[in-house]
Structure 1
Amino acid sequence: MRNLLEFLAKYNHWIIFVLLEVVSAVLLFRYNTYQGSVWFSTANAVAGKVYEWNSAVESFFSLTRVNEELALRNFYLERQVNQLSRLYGELTRDTSFLERSERQLLSQYQLLPAKVVDNSLDKPYNLMTINRGRLDGVKPDMGVACGNGVVGIVYLVADHYSVVMPVLNLKSRISCTIRRRGYVGYLAWYGGDPTVAYVEDIPRHARFRRGDWVETSGYSSIFPPGVLVGKILQVYNSRDGLSYRLKVQLTTDFSNLRDVLVITDSTVAERVKLLDAARDSLRIGADD
């Protein structure tokens, strides 16, 4: 209390000055029409600017949720387009059966949104880090995609982060097929341009043309069928001349990749267990 009294006594002139200024301002703007209108207009302008800044800040921090929703929506829309394309191309068959089969197949997959926190493009063995890990349900060998197409496969997993082997890695191999053609090969990248990769082992009797779309085949437990990969740019002979090599323009822009989806297959454990049992049975039979 003593310190407060000493403070008031020391600065009493300044305190009285401030109080008189406040009283003068109130009297000026309240009882004078012109000054009052100026104050009202200025206050509204300042308040409007503050509200505008507040709205911009809220919009910025909501971009994360919006981007995740857009990535999910783009992925589902791409799947629906592929489904409709197949149904349109096979009108003579039981379309209701195809649609039921497609829905049943997709029901076993779940999508987990994630953010890319680290990425490289200029190395032979590029890796990518996402902000989802073991505690989020991520496991090695899970597929990773985005709204535009395939991204890669989960390589290593920690509690809160995971390392992904993207398409742009010399060791990456992803099973692919030419849309509506049925020919299967595997997607590989050989360094250099991060916008193109190659589909290998397309059989010589295959019929297709430049501009056809390449998508995942669904022959593995990593990706569902129909996830977009890219568009055929050029066709070459393989090194041994027994198959085709397709140069593909990737639909995924790895230089601007932020939001991805980890694809989980609920039937993987069951299929792996069954496959292991079959291998053990064959091994025992061979020993006998």
Structure 2
Amino acid sequence: MRSLIDFLIKYSKWFVCLFYVLVSCILLFETNPYQHYVFLTSANRVSAECLSFSANVTSYFHLHDINEDLQLRNASLEMEVTQLRRQLRRLREDLKEESLRSDSIAPQFDFQLAHVISNSVSRTHNYITIEKGSLDSIEPEMGVVDQNGVVGIVNVVGRNSARVISLLNPKMRLSCKVKGRSDFGSLVWDCKNPHEALLEEMPRHERFQPGDTIVTSGYSAVFPEGIPVGTILSYENAHNNNFYTLRIKLFTDFTTLSTVRVLRNKLGSELSEISAGEEDE
């Protein structure tokens, strides 16, 4: 207590001066309209800038959540577009046969988002690891895509993560076709450029143009028909001269993968049983 009193006595002149300054400011701003207006304007400006800064900081820390939500919405819309196209095509076919059935147009695929936690592009056999596994209902032979096109196929699943065979892996072969046509071939990576691949066994009677879009054929239980893959860069005769080999520029940029969608075929188990029965015969 004594120290506090000594402190107040020691600096009493400063406290008195501060008191007079404070009283002077109050009298100045309260009794003079112009000074009062200037004070309020300045105070409001400072307050507005502080609030704006606080709002910007808060918005910045919410950007990650906003981005996640936008990616999920975008992925959902893309899958809906793909499913609607399939439904429309089936409706047209069924209408021609006058046998429209509601269960024939049920969406065959659904998906879930997953983050990429490791990815290689410079090896001969490249793989991708995602942060979802069996606890998230991930299974082998599930297709993986991003917002641009095909990424790969799940081949090893752990409890909390899974490994994906990248499209940049010669072990993976993907059935593809030119958009709007029926003839299909096999897409494979030639271990050269991570932005390009080869579409082999395309019939010579077809005519191809650089820029034509390549999509999945749908002739597997892994990917639905029509998933974008890339565009034709060039083509050349295959070794046996009966087919063309097309060089494809891939839509997916494997060097910047961050979020992917894992596809689940709702009819996968049924199709596997049918395939197993055919092999037994």
TM-score bin, normalised by smaller chain:
0.7 to 0.9
SS of alignment partner, residue 112 of structure 1: strand
Name which of structure 1's ranges 31-40 and 142-151 shifts more when overlaid on structure 2.
31-40
Relative to structure 1, the CA distance from residue 10 to residue 233 in structure 2 (aligned partners, 3 Å threshold; closer, same or farther) is: farther
| 1:286 equivalent in structure 2 | none
Q: Distance in 2 between matches of 1:212 and 1:235?
A: 11
1:116-173 Cα offsets, whole Å, 9 max, x none, are 2222211111111112211111111110112211111112111121111111112111
SS of alignment partner, residue 59 of structure 2: helix
SS of alignment partner, residue 233 of structure 1: strand
CA contact (8 A) 1:213 1:231 kept: yes
Name which of structure 1's ranges 69-78 and 175-184 shifts more when overlaid on structure 2.
69-78
| 2:109 equivalent in structure 1 | 109
| 2:126 equivalent in structure 1 | 126
Q: Distance in 1 between matches of 2:5 and 2:219?
A: 85
CA contact (8 A) 1:71 1:259 kept: no
Output the amino acid matched with 2:78: N
CA contact (8 A) 1:119 1:127 kept: yes
SS of alignment partner, residue 107 of structure 1: coil
Q: Distance in 2 between matches of 1:193 and 1:273?
A: 38
Output the amino acid matched with 2:49: A
SS of alignment partner, residue 39 of structure 1: helix
| 1:54 equivalent in structure 2 | 58
- How far residue 59 of structure 1 moved from its aligned partner, in angstroms, is 2.8
Overall identity of the aligned pairs, in %: 28
Relative to structure 1, the CA distance from residue 215 to residue 37 in structure 2 (aligned partners, 3 Å threshold; closer, same or farther) is: closer
Query: Where does the alignment leave 5 or more consecutive residues of structure 2 unmatched?
Result: 30-35
Structure 1 or 2, whichever has the larger Rg, is 2
**Runs of 4+ residues over 6 Å off in structure 1:** 20-27, 81-84, 100-103
User: 1:228 and 2:232 equivalent?
Assistant: no
Name which of structure 1's ranges 163-172 and 39-48 shifts more when overlaid on structure 2.
39-48
User: 1:68 and 2:72 equivalent?
Assistant: yes
Relative to structure 1, the CA distance from residue 22 to residue 159 in structure 2 (aligned partners, 3 Å threshold; closer, same or farther) is: farther
Relative to structure 1, the CA distance from residue 134 to residue 268 in structure 2 (aligned partners, 3 Å threshold; closer, same or farther) is: same
| 1:285 equivalent in structure 2 | none
SS of alignment partner, residue 165 of structure 2: strand
CA contact (8 A) 1:106 1:224 kept: no
CA RMSD of aligned residues (A): 3.6
SS of alignment partner, residue 132 of structure 1: coil
| 1:204 equivalent in structure 2 | 204
1:230-261 Cα offsets, whole Å, 9 max, x none, are 11111111123232111111111222222211
CA contact (8 A) 1:213 1:232 kept: yes
| TM-score in terms of structure 1 length | 0.78
2:48 to 44, 49, 64: 44
